[in-house]
Amino acid sequence: MAALIPWQHAGVNQSPFVLVFNQIGLPFAGDLMNFVVLTAILSAANSGLYASTRMLWSLAHEGMISRRFAHTSRRGVPLLALAVSMIGGILALTSSVVAADTVYLVLVSVSGLAVVIVWMAIALSEINFRRQWLAQGHTVSELQFRTPGYPVVPWAALIMSLLSCVLIIFDPNQRSSLFYMLPFIALCYGFYYGREAWRRHRGSKFSRSQH
Q: Which of 85, 89, 35, 80 is nearest to 61 (CA)?
A: 80
* CA angle (74, 77, 82) in 5-degree steps: 140
The burial class, CB within 10 Å (0-12 / 13-18 / 19+), for 82 is: buried
- Compute the 3-state secondary structure of the chain and give helix, strand, coil in percent, each to the nearest 5: 75, 0, 25
Contact assessment for residue 175 and residue 169, using Cβ atoms and an 8 Å cutoff = yes
Q: What is the pLDDT along the chain (211 residues), one digit of tens a residue?
A: 777 777 776 665 667 777 777 777 777 777 887 888 889 989 998 998 999 999 999 989 888 888 899 999 999 999 999 999 999 989 988 988 888 878 888 888 788 788 888 899 999 999 999 999 999 999 988 998 888 888 899 999 999 999 988 888 887 777 777 788 888 888 888 988 888 888 888 877 666 666 5
At residue 9, the pLDDT reads 66
Burial of 103 (0-12, 13-18, 19+ CB in 10 A): middle
Which DSSP string corresponds to 127-186? HHHHHHHHHTT--GGG-SS--TTTTHHHHHHHHHHHHHHHHGGG-TTTHHHHHHHHHHHH
Is there a cis peptide before residue 78, judged by omega within 30 degrees of 0?
no
Q: Does residue 1 sit in helix, strand or coil? A: coil
Rounded to whole angstroms, the Cα distance separating 100 from 62 reads: 34
The predicted structure's pLDDT at residue 99: 85
Tens-digit pLDDT profile for residues 132-178:
999 999 998 899 888 888 889 999 999 999 998 888 888 777 777 77
Q: What is the pTM of this model?
A: 0.66
Residue 10 has a pLDDT of 65
* Whole-number Å distance between alpha carbons of 178 and 169: 7
